[in-house]
Structure 1
Amino acid sequence: MSRFPVRRLALLGAGAAAVTLTLSACSGERVQNAVNATNSTRGLRVVLDQRYGPDARNRLDVYAPKDARNAPTLLFIHGGSWQGGDKSGHAFVGESLARAGYVVGVMNYRLAPQHRYPSYVQDGAAALKWLRDHAREFGGSPENLFVSGHSAGGFNAAELVDNARWLAEVNVPVSSIRGVIGIAGPYSYDFRQYQSRVAFPEGGDPGDIMPDRHIRPDAPPHLLLVAEKDTTVHPQNALNMEAALKKAGIPVQRVVLPRLNHVTVIGAVARNLTWLGGTRAELIRFVEARRLK
């Protein structure tokens, strides 16, 4: 996992117009929303800033089809090296997956260095509990849950589900979770070598913290999406996570997406950027295969 360098990325937007923006290689929020501005939420039910905890960052936005009934319910967690990022920069994820027929919660969480591990993981568990408790209000199913995240959010998604401690703290049964979708997540790395160490306890041991060390025996199936051109999160993270899941007997699919990098792998969730690569299609394929019918 690198230091999330700043890069210049050129994307072809709607009408074949060239859009070039300087962006953070970890989250890419500005480019994602700039090129995704045409994806209106018209026809969806959108409810913003729902409070799931006491902190100012304990908020989530819900995107749902207006006619949803017993739909899969998905929590999405943004990236940002645990130190940045915002749910508003990932509105395109909520819009895109709600158009696929899902009830989607896009969450914020407390940020490092003020809030270190496990604060942001506990926030994810609390947000999942809120989404489960309120799923029926939006036409979603509380027993048909999926958890997904990009980059640091992929770590959070895996850790909050796979480490039995966090779901137990909020009284969410793991049996209600149908699957975990990690997108370019750093599930297995030595944070002490990188600037992201400020997101973890001083003197912390990666062996006690990384999600690949915490696989519960009753974990749900996982989809690990890897960007072929990712130079921010090394693909060894997904290989180690895949091996740990297989050792525990947990079904896992690791899919390497051609041409995509750390930014475009999440940007490709946007409906008008699917030409970039297969992130959205793979995510939907996994949910459809795992959802309760």
Structure 2
Amino acid sequence: MKRTGLLLLCGALICAGLAACSPVQTLNSVVPVADLTIETLRYGPDARQELDLYAVPGLKAAPTVLFIHGGSWTHGDKSEYRFVGESLARAGYVVGVMNYRLAPQHRYPAYVEDAAQALAVLRTAAPRFGGDPDQLFVAGHSAGGFNAVALVDRHGYLEAAGVPPQSVRGVIGIAGPYSYDYRGFPSRNAFAEGSDPADVMPDRFVRPGAPPHLLLVAADDEVVHPQNALQMEAALRAAGVPVERHVLPGLNHITVAAALARPLAWLGGTRDAVVEFIEARRSQ
């Protein structure tokens, strides 16, 4: 597997220099999905308000996972994360990989509200594919990790979308910016002009009774500082919310997400940590 993954990665790097393809396209092209059930679901009127559902046929009472992509809230697309849908579907879950409206046209909290609506639609659809609507997990990478944590931890988003808070069994943040002053970064255009991070950051709004969290940190991350996870962990513990924080060696901000792919799981422990977290909290 390690040799196969290395060859794939090398091929992706070579392909990156060609106009016709990209590393993620290369990865997705070798991820088998022909035997999976895949369906696109809409959760709102905007062209970006849809998600792709992935499932292995024949599931029963399986955990249901919503995955939210990164991209500084200004770019990214669910089509780039087919490898995540395939990987978690093979683990035995009903998986939704969502798009959301992008900044600067749509600033905070629009993309968190989109996540709430997407989760509601996924929850309703899940039983048709063998998913349990009361075993929900919300996961995200980078900006998507912010969205996932903000959605579940701040009171009001789940309720407004009609999702019972108790139906969410866990939150998985992968290299997420949960506690930073965006006013000094280009990502400030994802938030309202003149807004205060103290009124926005998820570590300031942890509701009592929130579900367990898994915070994954890439040891070599030079994009999102590890302090974000440390401060989020402290806030969760102060609120009495169970939390695990794992620092994954040898991974950076990009490879910590790439390691969710089955062919690249050898890169680091992302996929194993995610699956172990879900399995420990699923109902039998």
TM-score computed with the length of structure 1 as normaliser: 0.91
Query: What's the offset of the Cα at 1:30?
Result: 3.9
User: Over residues 204-257 of structure 1, what are the superposed CA-to-partner deviations in whole Å (9 max), with x where a residue is unaligned?
Assistant: 100010000110101000000000000000000000000000000000000000
Equivalent residue number for residue 20 of structure 1 = 13
Q: 2 CA distance for matches of 1:52 and 1:281?
A: 30
In 2 relative to 1, CA 163–283 (structure 1 residues): closer, same or farther, beyond 3 Å?
same
User: Which sections of structure 1, spanning at least 5 residues, go unmatched?
Assistant: 1-10, 24-28
2:47 paired with 1:42: no
In structure 2, what is the equivalent of residue 7 of structure 1?
none
Higher strand share: 1
Aligned to 1:140: 131
Identity, in percent, stands at 61
- Separation (CA, whole Å) in 1 of partners of 2:201 and 2:47: 27
User: Structure 2, unaligned stretches of length 5 or more?
Assistant: none
Match of 2:101 in 1: 110
On the 8 A contact 1:36/1:270 being kept in 2, the answer is no
The answer to whether the 8 A contact 1:155-1:186 is kept is yes
Q: CA–CA distance in 2 between the matches of 1:22 and 1:156? A: 31
Asked if residue 92 in structure 1 is aligned to residue 86 in structure 2, the reply is no
1:208 matched residue in structure 2: 199
1:65-104, aligned counterparts within 5 Å? Answer: 65-104=56-95
- In 2, the alpha carbon distance for the partners of 1:227 and 1:111 equals 25
2:224: which partner in 1? 233
Query: Residue 6 of structure 1 aligns with which residue?
Result: none
Q: Secondary structure at the match of 1:110?
A: coil
Query: Match for 1:194 among 176, 185, 197?
Result: 185
Contact 1:12 1:19 in 2 (8 A): no
Secondary structure of the 2:246 match is: strand
Separation in 2 of the partners of 1:276 and 1:41? 22
Structure 1 counterpart SS, 2:121: helix
Partner of 2:54 in structure 1? 63
| CA distance in 2 between partners of 1:245 and 1:81 (Å) | 24
Tell whether 2:240 aligns with 1:249.
yes
| Partner of residue 178 from structure 1, selected from 166, 169, 174 | 169
Structure 1 pair 184/22, CA: closer, same or farther in 2 (3 Å)? farther
Q: Distance in 1 between matches of 2:92 and 2:230?
A: 31
Question: Counterpart of 2:54 in structure 1: which amino acid?
Answer: Y
Q: Distance in 1 between matches of 2:158 and 2:38?
A: 26
**Equivalent-residue separation in structure 2 for 1:278 and 1:42 (angstroms):** 26
Structure 1 pair 156–17 and aligned structure 2 pair: CA distance change class (3 A): closer
Residue identity matched to 1:250: V
2:215 match: 224
Q: Which amino acid in 2 is paired with 1:20? A: L
Does the Cα contact within 8 Å between 2:12 and 2:24 map onto a contact in 1?
no
Indicate whether 1:264 and 2:233 are aligned. no
Q: Distance in 1 between matches of 2:109 and 2:15?
A: 31
Residues 1:31 and 2:1 are matched in the alignment? no
For residues 209 and 53 of structure 2, the distance between their equivalents in structure 1, rounded to whole angstroms, comes to 28
TM-score under structure 2 length normalisation: 0.94
Contact kept in structure 1, 2:27 and 2:83, CA below 8 Å: no
